[in-house]
């Protein structure tokens, strides 16, 4: 019975005095995640014959998740979305072309199904949302343009973590079909014992290798699944660091600034952690193009600050 006495997401958003349109937008996206969770449980698997704009094979669930989010936003009439950017789309999309531009306060960047290649292995995957004020490519750093971020985990439990600049809060999708509050005002540990190192060791720079060697010598344990959102969630709860560094053959790394890095950097800073590319904070970077990538070190302050020292040769 305790499950049903908890605060539901809609009430929580209202209690935090979040802007009315932003509340409705977060609620809309959270409902899309429920539909995506349902489709995952139906075990839709297999590759399509297409590739997405970045040359990666699209799985059926990638395409479906993207479609669900777009369709539900297009059906929403109480507010307009200015820009919609997705890892599965080549260009920014105008979801509400008939609405006046002045009424479109927010834009959305989304990774519809992060870690989708793990579906066949039945490992945890997720969806990442970044909500931006005005345009996505605005000439402003993420710190001045992001107003909220959210991710949903499809694992043993379906959970949602969001921040609208007033702390980080976790909800669980309960048997009654509600997002109910599980943890409020999450704080990441100052120092952890986990690390999730992306990329192949043979492609790492010398500075990055030294950093990872230091963690290994200190007894840190690897928790790397191949799904950024899943590994980030482990660091948020337990402390530690996720990293996908600059590689010898990919100096800008692999992960996308708008759809993945800045939304989770927003959340980790709200939880008291840090996110950097080794040289500057992720939220201080000004996005200049849709497919912009960046190296990433994200998690507890102790480990991220240690990474910065190694990357800077200190």
Q: Is residue 136, in this structure, part of any structural domain at all?
A: yes
- Is 198 in the same domain as 179? no
Cα(187)–Cα(167) distance, rounded to whole angstroms? Answer: 9
Domain boundary among 156, 183, 210: 183
Supply the pTM of this predicted model: 0.92
Strand segments, DSSP code E, in 42-178 are 47-51, 57-59, 81-86, 106-114, 125-133, 146-154, 158-163, 169-173
What pLDDT, on a 0 to 100 scale, did the predictor assign at position 123?
79
Cα(185)–Cα(254) distance, rounded to whole angstroms? Answer: 30
What pLDDT, on a 0 to 100 scale, did the predictor assign at position 4?
43
Q: Is residue 70, in this structure, part of any structural domain at all?
A: yes
- Is 147 in the same domain as 218? no
Q: Which of 235, 169, 147, 201 is nearest to 10 (CA)?
A: 169
For residue 206, what are the domain limits?
194-311
What pLDDT, on a 0 to 100 scale, did the predictor assign at position 229?
96
The domain that holds 112 is classified in CATH as 3.30.540.10
Instruction: Look at the chain and count its residues.
Output: 314
Q: What is the mean pLDDT of each run of 10 residues along the chain (314 residues)?
A: 64 91 95 91 56 58 90 87 92 86 88 83 89 95 97 94 97 93 97 97 96 98 94 97 96 96 98 97 97 97 98 87
Tell me how many domains the chain contains.
2
- Is 173 in the same domain as 234? no
Q: How do strand 296-299 and strand 240-244 relate by DSSP bridges?
A: antiparallel
Q: Is residue 262, in this structure, part of any structural domain at all?
A: yes
What pLDDT, on a 0 to 100 scale, did the predictor assign at position 50?
59
The domain that holds 261 is classified in CATH as 3.40.190.80
DSSP state of 257: I
Q: How do strand 81-86 and strand 274-276 relate by DSSP bridges?
A: unpaired
Domain boundary among 183, 208, 234: 183
Domain boundary among 150, 183, 216: 183
Handedness of CA 277, 280, 281, 285 (dihedral sign): negative
Q: Are the C-beta atoms of 127 and 114 separated by less than 8 Å?
A: yes
What pLDDT, on a 0 to 100 scale, did the predictor assign at position 217?
97
What pLDDT, on a 0 to 100 scale, did the predictor assign at position 76?
85
Q: Which residue has the tokens 């048997």?
A: 175
- Is 178 in the same domain as 203? no
Q: Are the C-beta atoms of 151 and 264 separated by less than 8 Å?
A: yes
Q: Is residue 189, in this structure, part of any structural domain at all?
A: no
> Token pair for residue 61?
């669930």
Cα(259)–Cα(287) distance, rounded to whole angstroms? Answer: 11
What pLDDT, on a 0 to 100 scale, did the predictor assign at position 53?
58
- Is 95 in the same domain as 154? yes
């Amino acid at each position: 019975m305790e499950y049903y006495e908890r605060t539901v997401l809609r009430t929580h958003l209202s209690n935090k005095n979040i802007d009315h349109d932003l509340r409705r937008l977060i609620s809309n996206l959270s409902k899309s995640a429920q539909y995506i969770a349902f489709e995952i449980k139906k075990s839709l698997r297999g590759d399509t014959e297409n590739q997405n704009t970045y040359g990666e094979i699209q799985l059926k669930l990638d395409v479906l998740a993207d479609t669900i989010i777009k369709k539900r936003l297009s059906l929403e009439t109480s507010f307009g979305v200015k820009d919609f950017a997705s890892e599965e789309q080549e260009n920014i999309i105008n979801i509400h072309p008939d609405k006046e531009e002045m009424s479109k306060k927010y834009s959305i960047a989304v990774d519809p199904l992060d870690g989708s290649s793990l579906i066949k292995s039945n490992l945890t995957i997720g969806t990442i949302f970044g909500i931006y004020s005005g345009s996505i490519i605005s000439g402003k750093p993420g710190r001045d343009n992001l107003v909220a971020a959210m991710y949903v985990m499809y694992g043993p439990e379906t959970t949602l973590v969001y921040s609208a600049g007033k702390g980080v809060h976790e909800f669980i999708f309960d048997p009654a079909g509600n997002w109910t509050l599980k943890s409020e005002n999450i704080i990441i540990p100052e120092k952890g014992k986990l690390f999730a190192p992306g990329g192949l060791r043979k492609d790492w720079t010398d500075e990055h290798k030294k950093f990872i060697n230091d963690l290994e010598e200190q007894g840190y344990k690897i928790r790397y699944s191949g799904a950024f959102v899943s590994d980030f969630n482990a660091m948020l709860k337990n402390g530690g660091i996720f990293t996908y560094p600059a590689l010898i053959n990919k100096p800008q790394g692999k992960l996308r600034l708008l759809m993945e890095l800045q939304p989770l950097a927003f959340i980790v800073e709200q939880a008291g952690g840090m996110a950097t590319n080794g040289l500057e904070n992720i939220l201080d970077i000004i996005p200049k193009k849709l497919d912009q990538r960046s190296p990433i070190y994200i998690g507890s302050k102790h480990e991220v600050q240690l990474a910065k020292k190694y990357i800077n040769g200190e």
